[in-house]
Amino acid sequence: MKSTTPKAKESSISADLVNILIVDDEPKNLMVLETVLDDPGYRLVRAASGEQALLALMADEFAVLVLDVRMPGMTGFELAQMVKERKKTARVPIIFLTAYYNEDQHILEGYGSGAVDYLHKPVNAPVLRSKVAVFAELHRKGRALELANIALESEVAERRRAEARLSDLNATLDRRVTERTDALQASDAQLRDANRRKDEFLATLAHELRNPLAPVRNAVHVLRLQGQTSPEVQWASEMIERQVQSMSRLIDDLMDVSRINQGRIELRRERVELAHVLQDAVETSRPLIDEYGHQLELTLPPPGLPLDADATRLAQAFMNLLNNAAKYTDRGGRIKVGVRKENGDVLVTVSDTGIGLAADRLESVFEMFSQVETALVRSRGGLGIGLSLTQRLIEMHGGSVKARSPGLGRGSEFVVRLPLASRPAEEAQAGSDPQAPAAIAAPDAELRILVADDNQDAADTLAMLLQLMGHSVRQATDGEAAVRMAADFNPHVVLLDIGMPKLNGYEACRQIRAQPGAREMTLVAVTGWGQADDRRKSHEAGFDQHLVKPVDPAALMNLIVAAGQVQPSGKGRLSAAAGFSARSPAG
């Protein structure tokens, strides 16, 4: 037990001690009460008057108040009344002790003032201890409950704060996700716009590059048709023709890569023999191989290796590999093409004795615009797109292509793996005879031909070429003039450029088609625009054919001969399907 006076009271109370206030004006009675209530779990606070008791009650919290009724100045009843009137102390239980007031009216007055018990002096010590112990235990439990409530309230408050922080974090996360999504969408829109602009640029670039090639190619064939047979003229003509073909191929490769990236190329698959595909590729690459003086070792596969493939696109892939080997092998080198069967696949190897590849370039060599040589020292030409195009075409056929090299200066080898078609070898052999290339037909009648092109050189050279072939030719340099001239001239064949002033080729075609007798005319789009969408627009406008500049003169001659064959019969135009389903040799 620990006993103090209000003046000496400790400022803090141990959580294990219960405060009990004993009030009596007689010191000896206070000593008796301290003796009776002596307990290590109690902290006894003494007060000799009502005033001292009030001060103690204001300073501390008590489990029970043991109060003498008869005191000078302020009686116990008066003190009890004041205790009950204060909110802080109203719940403190009061036990009255008295030696004088034994009548019932005094007892009732005591209970009426807020007492919970009324004991007579001399006090029965066990009874007092028992009653005080009950109130002390109730106080401990109440205090424990209050502390638990405080802890619970603190935990609830902390949870609410955590929920608020979590809500703030969620709101922040939602805002960041929204901002990030918006940024990604904006970035995606920018990338799509940049990609669209890139496609438009490539298409425009191809158109602008093809336009000047058309008169150059036409001029070469004009020289040939005029019978210029001197060695110098023949050499110059062949050189110009090779360079035009090379430029045309570069433009086509560039556009093919763009179309593959956009998913606009669809393979026209059929059952073909690998040997025929390789023969086509070698035939196309032979002029470049011979130009460099290389030795070509070609081991064609035996019959019975059918592929489910687009023969033109697959030959294009092997042609790129052969051209790459020819360009990157010093003059007089050796190129070898080998074929072997492995499980259900066929492996085609194209090896050379050229400049080779470093180990770190074996993968990156297939990237767009990748070059083995730097721009400043490169002397072998090309844009660095041939191998990228080859890889994508091979992958579209379900195959793969890998590069190998022992090192720089030691040659390279490209290995193409393709799945074989699942059909009997006999069926493949029976249905795979190649068709001989169509010969260039000679014109058997003079035709009226209208040439419309705002490029004066292209129009002049094409008109001259057609006149040398024996046809009557008129020229127009804009769409409106072409429409008027078609009505006056009544041509058998109309060759229209698309991008013309005053009236574009599409609208000019529509207006010509609306003229009397125009349904028997053959209308051909001759343009630098060669994408699938351009061909679709040509077909919708009423064109029979869509040729991409620079036009192969042999293809143009055959087209005009075919137009001449249908004109006398009056049975209509050339098959539109033939003009838009097959890929033009020039485009």
Q: Which residues pair with 417 in a beta bridge?
A: 347, 400
pLDDT tens-digit map of 417-450: 999 887 543 443 444 343 333 344 445 578 899 9
Residue 525 CA to its chain's centroid (Å): 38
207: tokens are 């158109």
pLDDT digits (tens, 9 = 90+) for 336-355: 999 988 888 899 999 999 98
Give yes or no for a contact between 79 and 107, defined as CB atoms under 8 angstroms apart. no
Compute the radius of gyration of the chain from its Cα atoms.
Answer: 53
Could you give the percent of the chain with pLDDT greater than 70?
Answer: 77
What's the mean per-residue pLDDT of the chain? 79
Mean pLDDT of 46-63: 90
Higher-scoring residue by pLDDT: 519, 575 = 519
| Residue indicated by tokens 């869509």 | 546
Mean pLDDT over 77-105 rounds to 80
Q: What are phi and psi of 73, to 5 degrees?
A: 80, -80
pLDDT category at 8 given cuts 50, 70, 90 is very low
Sheet of 472-476, strands arranged across? 472-476, 448-452, 493-496, 522-527, 545-548
Pair 258, 199: CB distance under 8 Å: yes
In this structure, the number of other CB atoms found within 10 A of the CB of residue 295 comes to: 11
Taking residue 416's Cβ as centre, other Cβ atoms within 10 Å add up to: 23
Question: Which stretches of 387-436 are assigned E, i.e. beta strand?
Answer: 400-404, 412-419
**Cα–Cα distance between 268 and 286 in angstroms, integer?**
25
Query: Tokens standing for 354?
Result: 């050229």
Structure tokens belonging to residue 550? 């620079």
Domain with CATH 3.40.50.2300 in the chain: 2-123, 202-265+442-587
- Only one residue has tokens 């169509």, namely 438
d(CA 418, CA 523): 41
Q: CATH 3.30.565.10 spans which residues of the chain?
A: 267-430
In which band, very low, low, confident or very high, does the pLDDT at 483 lie, cut at 50, 70 and 90? very high
What kind of architecture, by CATH, is found in domain 202-265+442-587?
3-Layer(aba) Sandwich (3.40)
Contact criterion met (CB below 8 Å) for 305 and 273: yes
The one-letter code for the residue type at 378 is: R
- For β-strands 64-68 and 94-98, DSSP reports them as parallel
- One-letter amino acid at 502 equals K
- Give the single-character DSSP code of 353: S
* Half-sphere exposure (Cβ direction) of 317: Cα atoms closer than 13 Å: 29
**What superfamily in CATH does domain 267-430 come from?**
Histidine kinase-like ATPase, C-terminal domain (3.30.565.10)
| Band (496; pLDDT cuts 50, 70, 90) | very high
Please tell me the pTM assigned to this model. 0.45
Range among 99-103, 232-236, 496-500 with highest mean pLDDT value: 496-500
Instruction: Judge whether residue 533 has pLDDT over 60.
Output: yes
Return the pLDDT at 288. 87
DSSP string across 364-432: GGGSTT--SS-TTT--S---S-HHHHHHHHHHHTT-EEEEE-SSTTS-EEEEEEEEPPSS-HHHHHHT-
User: Do the beta carbons of residue 347 and residue 394 sit within 8 Å?
Assistant: no
Give per-residue pLDDT as tens, 157-176: 999 999 999 998 988 898 88
Phi-psi region of 516 (alpha: psi -120 to 50; beta: other; left: phi over 0): beta
Token digits for 205? 């670039």
Exposure string of 125-140, with b = 16+ CB inside 10 Å and e = fewer, is eeebbebbbebbeebb
Instruction: Check if the beta carbon of residue 500 is closer than 8 Å to that of residue 482.
Output: yes
Query: Is a pLDDT exceeding 70 seen at residue 574?
Result: no
Indicate if the alpha-carbon torsion angle 224, 228, 229, 233 is positive or negative. Answer: negative
Say how far residue 491 (Cα) sits from the centre of its chain.
52
Looking at residue 573, its pLDDT comes to 44
352: three-class secondary structure by DSSP: strand
By three-state DSSP, how is residue 230 classified? coil
Mean pLDDT of 488-515: 91
| Average pLDDT for 527-547 | 85
Phi/psi of residue 351, each to 5°?
A: -120, 160
CA distance 211 to 505: 15
Amino acid identity at 164: A
CATH of 2-123, one of 1.10.12.10, 3.40.50.2300, 3.90.400.10, 3.40.50.10070: 3.40.50.2300
- Residue 524 pLDDT class (50, 70, 90 cuts): very high
pLDDT digits (tens, 9 = 90+) for 373-413: 443 333 445 556 778 888 888 888 899 999 989 888 889 99
Tell me the H-state helices in 60-124. Answer: 76-85, 104-112
The rounded distance, in Å, linking the Cα atoms of 173 and 176 is 5
Q: Which backbone phi and psi does 552 adopt, to 5 degrees?
A: -70, 115
Q: In which band, very low, low, confident or very high, does the pLDDT at 212 lie, cut at 50, 70 and 90?
A: confident
| pLDDT over 60 (residue 5) | no
Q: Could you tell me what percent of the chain has a pLDDT over 90?
A: 20
Section 36-65 average pLDDT: 90
| Residue whose C-alpha is closest to residue 367's, from 380, 381, 385, 349 | 385
The tokens for 273 are 């023999």
Residue 63: pLDDT over 50: yes
Non-local CB neighbours of 451 within 8 Å, separated by 6+ positions: 459, 462, 463, 466, 473, 474, 475, 476, 495
DSSP bridge partners of 67: 23, 96
Q: Which residues pair with 98 in a beta bridge?
A: 120
43 confidence band (pLDDT: 50, 70, 90)? very high
Q: Give residue for tokens 């779990």.
A: 41
In angstroms, rounded to a whole number, what is the distance separating the alpha carbons of residues 286 and 290? 6
Question: Roughly how many angstroms between the first and final C-alpha of the chain, as a whole number?
Answer: 111
Q: What angle do CA 162, 165, 166 make, to 5 degrees?
A: 85
pLDDT-derived band at 579, boundaries 50, 70, 90: very low
Strand-strand pairing, 400-404 and 345-352? unpaired
